[in-house]
Amino acid sequence: MKNFIIDTPGQARQVIPKTNPTAVRAALQAQRRAAQAQNAKPTWQHPNEMYDFIRGQEGYRDYSYLDTAGKVTVGIGYMVPNVEEMKKLPLVDRRSKLPVGELRKQQEYEMLHNFAQQKMQNGKLNFLAKRYENMSTLMLPKDVATEIARQHIDSEQEHVRNNFPTYNQLDPKAQIGMMDLRYNLGGKKFNRKNWPKLHDALEKFDYAKAANEVNRIGVSKDRNDATKQLFLNIVAQQAKAQEKTTSDASSGLLDF
């Protein structure tokens, strides 16, 4: 083999004489930079993958309950901000599955709200959602809960896109991880001010560092680990790709 052939993304194929190793090394470096730039092009997470992950982490509950912050919650982790919003939801009786009026919705909200006021300790409730199953009389039908979750994720993702400049360039798994945090914690808690190290790491596409910055207090270890694993999977994929690039480059140089 007299020549070394290098294909670089976005450029014409280069044919470099094997007698010029300096040019080969320079071309390989350019190839690596081009590959990195190509990986940084905008990516758009397929919505269903994001929905499925977040829905899997939140879970669907056929009863109203309180989250650990004492907030009334229904369906797929949808936090009801106030009693007026509760009245707008198409809640049904858990037994009959028939729609209920505003008074029943108000009573359910106030019952849970009052329970939270009585049991809160240091701003937290130390109960699992299952604790409220026997207390609750209303539910949000699964199809409605799914649609509300989708709309909420879409809305939150649009907000993140508009306020986090490199969001579209993140690996799709990182987008899922970021939105899981946002959906779980809400915009008031998950933002740059409260999570500066994670935001800095993501702006630099440093997924290894980001993996160590996703732990949430008051959230199950399983959920924290699942979100962390999204970022670790990216790191593993990058390492594998780098290994292949290095192997291919070494193999090419041996052809001299």
- For 178, counting Cβ atoms within 10 Å of its Cβ (0-12 exposed, 13-18 middle, 19+ buried), the class is buried
The predicted pLDDT at position 13 comes to 58
Backbone angles phi, psi at 14, to 5 degrees: -105, 135
Backbone angles phi, psi at 117, to 5 degrees: -60, -35
Total residue length of the chain: 256
The predicted pLDDT at position 33 comes to 58
The predicted pLDDT at position 46 comes to 58
The predicted pLDDT at position 122 comes to 83
The answer as to CATH 1.10.530.40 being correct for domain 47-235 is yes
Give me 183's structure tokens: 């959906």
The predicted pLDDT at position 18 comes to 46
Helix extents (H) in 89-203: 102-119, 142-163, 172-185, 196-203
DSSP string of 73-111, one letter each residue: EEETTEE--SHHHHHHS--EETTT--B--HHHHHHHHHH
- What is the residue extent of each domain of the chain? 1-39, 47-235
Residues of the chain with pLDDT under 50: 1, 4, 9, 18, 37-45, 256
Distance CA 170, CA 167 (A): 5
The predicted pLDDT at position 39 comes to 47
The predicted pLDDT at position 40 comes to 45
Report whether 43 contacts 175 (CB < 8 A).
Answer: yes
Could you tell me which residues are beta bridge partners of residue 6?
A: 14
130 CB neighbour count, 10 Å cutoff: 10
What does the buried/exposed string (b/e) look like for 180-195 if buried means 16 or more CB atoms within 10 Å of the residue's CB?
bbbbbbbeeebbeeeb
The predicted pLDDT at position 123 comes to 80
